């Protein structure tokens, strides 16, 4: 009978694999952060605060799902926040100025986001512009056009169907506080489950992983690289538009620059969760854990009165560390392959 104190080789290897998974150590960091802020920040571990965090970060989580798909495919997109802003504002104009019905407004907003994502894919696949350059350029162009034509003015007179808070579940605590599970939270859950199904249950998801891991090998086995570019960037554009409209639903107005500066936080959450900047790696649970950790850190630091600039430092260091680890891992892999080839020579 195996001794629990001395795991068998199979159990030991399973534990070693678990420790190497980003989700495992990320969950451990989250537990430590919760214990720390729970004991030092008043109100942190209350249920209303937790629900408020979920709603606040639901928009970023939805965009992170789209960015995760792009990262898995081997690309990167910096323009999704600008896409969210443009899509939201176009939808707001159609609703507030033209009085179009909800289905047409929502469809138009989603179509704008998907089209902008498709334009990114076209620049990357057909013009052969590196994804980071193409999307930075698109971010600059689309956001500048938005600010130019809007004059930076917000749209406050959104229709009631857009601004009315939709509560899916509501309960009153013994303390008298109301806890509401609202539409943005439900949308985040649905999008996360849908993205997980796309990437793990459908052939297109497996093809995206294959393309991100080795584009040339994927091309040789007949995978359409161009089609997958449009799938990945179009999917992110679609979700960015959805996130933008949900943001307007949350705050009750359309603000042209409301989504600006969320790019690095979303990217940081994705790479924290194990999505590689070189493609082919990552999971939906990992990205969600990355969002949870960032939400905990920002909320806890705010409750402690720490400057918001410190949180930006954390984000910058996260991206820097992830990039460094990716480069080091790539070098180590090339070194091992070189040694293996030399041994067989």
pLDDT band at residue 133, thresholds of 50, 70 and 90?
Answer: very high
Q: Which residues pair with 167 in a beta bridge?
A: 182
* C-alpha to C-alpha distance for 275 and 269, rounded to whole angstroms: 9
Q: Across residues 213-230, what is the average pLDDT?
A: 95
Lowest pLDDT segment from 98-107, 179-188, 309-318? 309-318
Q: Cα separations (Å) of 198 from 192, 232, 265, 309, 343?
A: 10, 11, 24, 36, 41
Predicted local distance difference test score (pLDDT) of residue 4: 44
* Rounded Cα distance, 36 and 28, in Å: 12
Q: Which residue has the higher pLDDT, 306 or 163?
A: 163
Q: Which helix (H) or strand (E) element contains residue 178?
A: strand 178-182
Q: Which residues lie closer than 8 Å to 93 by C-beta, 6 or more apart?
A: 155
- To the question of pTM greater than 0.95 for the whole model, the response is no
Would you tell me how many other CB atoms lie within 10 Å of the CB of residue 154?
Answer: 15
Question: pLDDT tens-digit profile of 23-51?
Answer: 888 888 899 999 999 999 988 988 889 89
User: Mean of the per-residue pLDDT values for the chain?
Assistant: 88
Give the model confidence (pLDDT) of 55-73 as tens digits.
999 999 999 999 999 999 9
Alpha carbon distances (Å) from 69 to 30, 198, 208, 284, 333: 24, 9, 8, 9, 24
Q: Does the structure show a pLDDT above 60 at 337?
A: no
User: Distance between CA 241 and CA 83 in Å, rounded?
Assistant: 7
For residue 88, is pLDDT > 80?
Answer: yes
**What per-residue string of b and e applies to 109-130 under the rule 16 or more CB within 10 Å gives b?**
bbbbbbbbbbbbbbbbbeeebe
CA distance 214 to 225: 11
Looking at residue 14, what is its pLDDT?
54
Contact between residue 69 and residue 195 where contact means Cβ atoms under 8 Å apart:
yes
Q: Let me know: does 59 contact 295? Beta carbons within 8 Å.
A: no
How confident is residue 6, by pLDDT bands cut at 50, 70 and 90? Answer: very low
Note the pLDDT tens digit of each residue in 242-270. Answer: 999 999 999 999 999 989 889 988 998 89
Range with the poorest average pLDDT among 1-15, 114-128, 249-263, 327-341: 1-15
Tokens read off for 291 = 């969002």
Q: What is the pLDDT of residue 102?
A: 97
Higher per-residue pLDDT: 181 or 1: 181
Phi-psi region at 214: left, alpha or beta (left = phi > 0; alpha = psi -120 to 50)? beta
Q: Which residue ranges make up each domain of the chain?
A: 42-259
Proportion of the chain above pLDDT 90, given as a percent: 65
**Residue 2 pLDDT greater than 60, yes or no:** no
Work out the end-to-end distance of the chain between its first and last CA atoms, rounded to an integer number of angstroms.
45
Which has more confidence, 47 or 144? Answer: 144
Confidence of residue 274 (pLDDT cuts 50, 70, 90): confident
- Burial pattern 273-302, b for ≥16 Cβ within 10 A else e, equals bbbbbebbbbbbbbbbbbbbbbbbbbbbbe
At 152, phi and psi to the nearest 5? 75, 10
Nearest to 276 by CA among 229, 241, 243, 324: 324
């Amino acid at each position: 009978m195996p001794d629990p104190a001395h795991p068998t080789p199979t159990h030991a290897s399973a534990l070693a694999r678990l420790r190497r998974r980003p989700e495992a150590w990320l969950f451990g960091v989250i537990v430590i952060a919760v214990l720390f802020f729970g004991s030092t920040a008043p109100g942190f571990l209350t249920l209303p605060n937790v629900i408020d965090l979920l709603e606040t970060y639901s928009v970023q989580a939805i965009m992170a799902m789209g960015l995760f798909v792009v990262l898995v495919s081997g690309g990167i997109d910096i323009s999704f926040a600008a896409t969210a802003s443009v899509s939201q504002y176009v939808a707001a104009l159609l609703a507030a100025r033209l009085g179009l019905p909800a289905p047409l407004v929502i469809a138009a907003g989603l179509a704008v986001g998907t089209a902008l994502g498709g334009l990114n894919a076209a620049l990357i696949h057909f013009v052969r512009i590196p994804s980071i350059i193409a999307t930075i350029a698109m971010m600059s162009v689309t956001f500048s056009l938005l600010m130019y034509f809007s004059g930076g003015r917000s749209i406050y007179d959104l229709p009631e169907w857009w601004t009315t808070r939709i509560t899916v579940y509501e309960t009153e605590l013994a303390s008298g506080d109301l806890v509401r599970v609202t539409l943005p939270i439900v949308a985040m859950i649905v999008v996360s489950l849908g993205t997980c199904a796309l990437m793990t249950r459908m052939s297109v998801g497996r093809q995206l992983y294959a393309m991100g891991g080795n584009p040339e090998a994927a091309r040789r086995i007949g995978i359409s690289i161009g089609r997958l570019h449009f799938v990945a960037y179009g999917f992110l554009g679609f979700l960015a538009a959805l996130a933008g409209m949900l943001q307007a639903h949350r705050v009750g107005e359309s603000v042209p620059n409301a989504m600006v500066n969320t790019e690095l936080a979303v990217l940081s959450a994705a790479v924290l969760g194990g999505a590689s900047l070189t493609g082919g790696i990552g999971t939906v649970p990992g990205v969600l854990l990355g969002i949870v950790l960032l939400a905990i850190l920002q909320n806890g630091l705010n409750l402690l009165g720490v400057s918001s600039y410190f949180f930006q430092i954390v984000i910058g260091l996260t991206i820097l560390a992830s990039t460094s680890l990716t480069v080091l891992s790539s070098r180590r892999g090339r070194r091992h392959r070189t040694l293996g080839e030399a041994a067989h020579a």
